[in-house]
Amino acid sequence: MTTNETLPETDRHKLEANLARVEELTQRLVDAIARRKPINPALHGPEPTLYAKAMQAYWQEWAQNPAKVFENQVGYWGKSLGHFMEAQQALAAGKLAPPEDTGPKDRRFKNPLWDSHPYFNFIKQQYQISSDAIRDAVEDIEDLEPTEKRRLRYFAQQITDMMAPTNFFATNPDALQKAVETEGASLVKGMENLVADLEANNGELIVRLADDKAFTIGENIATAEGAVVWRNRMMELIQYSPTTEKVHETPIVLFPPWINKFYILDLKPENSLIRWIVDQGYTLFVVSWINPDESYRDIGLEDYIEDGYLTALRLAREICGTEKINAVGYCIAGTTLALTLSLLKKRGDKQVNSATFFTALTDFSDQGEFTPFLQNDFIDGIEAEVNATGLLKSFIMARTFSYLRSTDLIYTPAIKSYMMGETPPAFDLLYWNGDGANLPGRMAVQYLRGLCQDNKFSDGTFELMGETLNLRDVDIPLISITAETDHIAAWKDCFRGVQKMGARSKTFVLSESGHIAGIVNPPNKKKYGHYLNPDLTLPADEWQKTADYHEGSWWPVWEAWLRKRSGKKVAARQPGDSSHPVLAPAPGTYVRVKANQ
């Protein structure tokens, strides 16, 4: 009698259907992977020389201080052997239970079986012992340059994160339990999710973080009322509709980063910074950048400044009939706003009344968590990639940022989607995070080489548009908003850049939370507080230590600062005018262009 004949009729049909589905999905999986276009191998990891240097330093340590090396090795062997013997003794005594000490807590191992089941507990504890040994081995290597040590530390952590037992079906109790409970249906659904992600990204495995069917731009996300009043090859300029009868005379032009879409500032009404600014009585213009294709390969920072910044500033002044503008730059757009202000200073142009920087780096002397990716082997790989394709593609940047938080942004979502068969959540922030943008090849290299690697703007040697730009030229009133746990634009690095700016009037705000939540922090949530300290001559740590802590959002602090620099109240302005007609309702057309098109 066959296995199928021993099953009830309904279960047999279900099994046959699942097997047929798996066969179909397997073929689609093979087809999707076959369409993958390989990228430069240098973008996958460091040159072998890093590991060669580490091995050389390790052997040198062995020769000079063998006792220390032996001590570490014997310590690891002893812990592993002791762990094994405890398990063996429990089995020999017929006690199928984990030891009393079930190991340190780790949120990856929150399933109770990691502590209560001897098999899973043994695997967990051995993984933690091995991870500690790798970490200790890296830290004990002394004859290695600090930058190389930092890179080695990062890549060693990537290896241990990748080898976590939660990442494998046979050693993940959540996945095993789900498969049993669903009679294998969760595995079929997980394979469907895997194949769908591969097919959506031309064979590249990019884990989908949010349900992309749950959101439609302009319908339930990015819904603030306004209109596109100008469009060129680089951007659409959106003017938002007033919600007050009177507005401040001086308008605001907000430049979001072109690495992502602008609607992070307009996810939904209750956390929309765009809506909040308009509700405070300001005329607000927001730039929506083009999502470039291969034809933009020769577009550089000068094009973003000329056809983006300078054009948007000019148009806002023309539409509002003012001589001055208050400018805002977020992340890389804040960096480029500083470049623009230096250029205007060189030209004797005083049209910008004040500048606001959101999590904007201008001094790259400390590369922070990006150190592993800002060395020549990686940048050479990126340069080769953009020379071949014309673009730094969105998925390459997304992968780089994700690996800085690989457990949260890669492995945990992959486990839920591919092993557990769960549908990604309908989470607007994660939807936005997955809606990335490409970077023009030339601009990417300018930024990575001239600013990130060589730090020429801070050093006063960055040449652009016929001028030598200098961070000290940023001498208009400014306010910098940073975030305490920001791993992209570390607040201490932002602080150092502000210290070098030439303005007499400088305000620095440190918000709690990170790169996104620290900025998208509406007052009604009463969630994250902020620090203020007028003494910017202090070292960063001392500045925070002596700062005043305030509960709640920094938004009202910024508005009070901005109000003093925004002039008298005038009648509210509707989007556009006779010379700048409405071209499309907000959020416009450029924001809808996907990176993989």
Which residues does the annotation mark as catalytic? 331
Residue owning tokens 């800085």: 404
Q: How many angstroms separate the CA atoms of 199 and 114, rounded? A: 35
Question: What are 66's two structure tokens?
Answer: 């063998």
Instruction: Give residue 350's identity as a one-letter amino acid code.
Output: K
Cα separation values, 143 from 56, 135, 349, 502, Å? 9, 16, 51, 40
Cα–Cα dist 488/25, whole Å: 38
Q: In whole angstroms, give the CA distance from residue 71 to residue 68.
A: 5
State how far the alpha carbon of 381 is from the alpha carbons of 85, 161, 301, in Å.
Answer: 47, 24, 20
CA-to-CA separations, 235 to 33, 491, 498, 591, in angstroms, rounded = 35, 29, 28, 10
Instruction: Round to whole Å and give the CA distance between 353 and 20.
Output: 66
From residue 101, how far is each of 108, 120, 130, 234 by CA, in Å? 18, 14, 17, 60
Question: Looking at residue 153, what DSSP letter applies?
Answer: H
DSSP letter at 415 equals I
Bridge-based pairing state of the strands 584-585 and 226-231 = antiparallel
Cβ contact 224:240 at 8 Å: yes
d(CA 111, CA 434): 28
Q: Which residue has the tokens 């305030």?
A: 550
Q: How many other β-carbons are positioned within 10 Å of the β-carbon of residue 39?
A: 18
Residues 6+ apart with CB under 8 A from 161: 406, 407, 411
- How many whole angstroms separate alpha carbon 353 and alpha carbon 337? 13
In a 10 Å sphere around its CB, with 0-12 CB exposed, 13-18 middle and 19+ buried, how is residue 368 labelled?
A: middle
Q: Which tokens in the block code for residue 18?
A: 């699942």
Asked if residue 43 lies in contact with residue 444, where contact means CB atoms within 8 angstroms, the answer is no
**Which residue, 353, 332, 365, 459, is CA-closest to 147?**
365
